[in-house]
Amino acid sequence: MPSKKPVEISQLFGQAGQSQQIHQLKSQIEKLEAEITQLRVNAFSSEEKAALEQQIEQLTNQLATQGGVHEIAISLIDPDPAQPRQTFPPLIIQERAESLRRQGQQNPIVLIPQLDGRYKLFDGELRWRAAPLAEMTKLKAVFLPKEEIPDEAVVFEGQLVTSIHSQKLHDLDLATALIRLIIFKYPNFIGREDEIPKFLNAFINRLVRSQKIQDLALIKDADLITQQEWLETSDFKEQEEYEIVSVLLGLQLNPVSINNNIFPLLKVAEDLKVIIRSEGLESSKIRELNKLSAEQLKIDESQATAIRTQITQRVVQEKLSLSQTKTLVKQTLEQYNASNNKAKHEKQIDKTIKDIESINLKSLEPTRLSKLHQVLQKTLHEIETLM
């Protein structure tokens, strides 16, 4: 099977053997990574969550030990526009700001010093966004030396792992980030981004047909050696399938869940993606609201967008539950389908009237005239009764 292997996250500090201090840092981070991979994505108990938060903090603590904690002006810090997490709802920022006001900054953010004297965020954008609301002008920070990071792809992978395990990315952010990470690791996908979900779906469907789909749930949590052995012996029809699945398993993500719940969000309406970015609306509600499409409503796209926007705003403003959202979407579809059916029926009536008006009565035989007379007379009587 394919010999090409994706970049391991441990390579994030692959050049860190230049000094004893940096070597110790590399060992600490590799140990942290090994511990994190034992936890389950999206399946945390309270004990696991507490343990995970403690493990994530080890990176920050080790950097603080090696380089100290600094106070950096917020005005000198720039967000990383390429980082995986793009959804920062105002409510979440307000909540973090209130936490900073009451409890102060408990943990330093992680920054990458830049040559122009500024700093780029590696971890801690939510705290950075919330700090001005808490009337803070500086943040405690530790530095991740830029020279120790091989390239942009490895930085991005490190951010993605941290976000998955500690910040719970929105599903749309996760979908977008996974596509980008796959392209980073396998540049043959450049310009073919839309094909990635299709390749994964084809592989998943083949496993379903061969009744081997349960293998993925088990192999997801296996060690790297076991995962690689499974990848080498699995029935991949295309090299691209192998590459995609290897990346997902490397992050301990279940390809079935990504196929069914995550990648489909890439195709939701653009106005709904805007709502996700601004409000952080849950994926389950977004999938329901996406049913209000021009095709389902049987109207043009501009009308569908207006209706979908109106219903979405109601879901957000009234804080409707998933069950209430489903009911509202169903009622909206029924309303417009009933209206469309009525309009269609009225068009049929109009056509029938025109057809009757266009009949050349003189050309009809007496028997047909008599039959037509009977039908029209009966219909006229029903009309008079209704009127």
Cβ-contact 60, 107 below 8 angstroms:
yes
DSSP 3-state percent helix, strand, coil across the chain (nearest 5): 70, 5, 25
Instruction: List, in order, residues 6 or more apart from 77 with CB less than 8 Å away.
Output: 109, 111, 118, 119, 120, 121, 128, 139, 141
The enclosing H or E element of 119 equals strand 119-123
User: Half-sphere exposure (CA, 13 Å, Cβ side) for 324?
Assistant: 10
* Residues 6, 36, 104: CA angle, nearest 5 degrees: 120
Beta-carbon contacts of 139 under 8 Å, excluding residues fewer than 6 positions away, are 71, 72, 74, 77, 105, 108, 109, 124, 127, 128, 131
Can you give the pLDDT at residue 297?
85
In the 8-state DSSP scheme, what is residue 28?
H
DSSP element (H, E) containing 349: helix 322-357
Q: Two tokens at 123?
A: 């971890």
- What pLDDT does 33 receive? 41
* pLDDT values of the chain reduced to their tens digit, one per residue, 387 residues: 444 444 333 333 333 333 334 444 444 444 444 444 443 334 445 555 555 556 556 666 666 666 678 899 999 999 887 777 777 878 788 888 888 888 888 888 888 888 888 998 888 888 999 999 999 999 999 887 655 554 566 666 666 766 665 556 788 888 988 998 899 889 999 999 999 999 999 999 999 998 888 888 888 878 888 889 999 988 899 999 999 999 999 888 889 999 999 999 999 999 999 888 888 888 889 999 999 998 888 888 888 999 999 999 999 999 899 999 999 999 998 887 755 565 566 677 777 778 777 888 778 788 887 887 888 788 887 777 877
The number of angstroms, rounded, from the C-alpha of 369 to the middle of its chain's C-alpha atoms is 67
- Is 352 within 8 Å of 315 (Cβ atoms)? no
Q: What is the pLDDT, as a whole number, of residue 345?
A: 60
> Strands 119-123 and 109-113, how do they pair?
antiparallel
* Cα distance between residue 301 and residue 187, in whole Å: 35
Burial 368-377 (b: 16+ CB within 10 A, else e): eeeeeeeeee
Containing 184, the helix (H) or strand (E) segment is helix 171-185
Tokens of 3: 């010999």
Contact 163, 123 (CB under 8 A): no
**In this structure, is the dihedral angle defined by the CA atoms of residues 360, 362, 366 and 369, taken in order, positive or negative?**
positive
Asked if residue 252 lies in contact with residue 37, where contact means CB atoms within 8 angstroms, the answer is: yes
CA-based nearest residue to 290, from 270, 274, 312, 268: 268
Cβ partners under 8 Å of residue 92, min gap 6: 126, 280
Nearest Cα neighbor of 131 from 84, 82, 79 is: 79
pLDDT in the model for residue 242: 94
Buried b (16+ CB within 10 A) or exposed e, 159-176: bbbbbbbbbebbbbbbbb
CB atoms within 10 A of CB 46: 7
Q: How many whole angstroms separate alpha carbon 384 and alpha carbon 119?
A: 83
Distances from the Cα of 34 to the Cαs of 1, 19, 31, 290, in angstroms?
Answer: 26, 23, 5, 39
Residue 211's pLDDT is what? 87
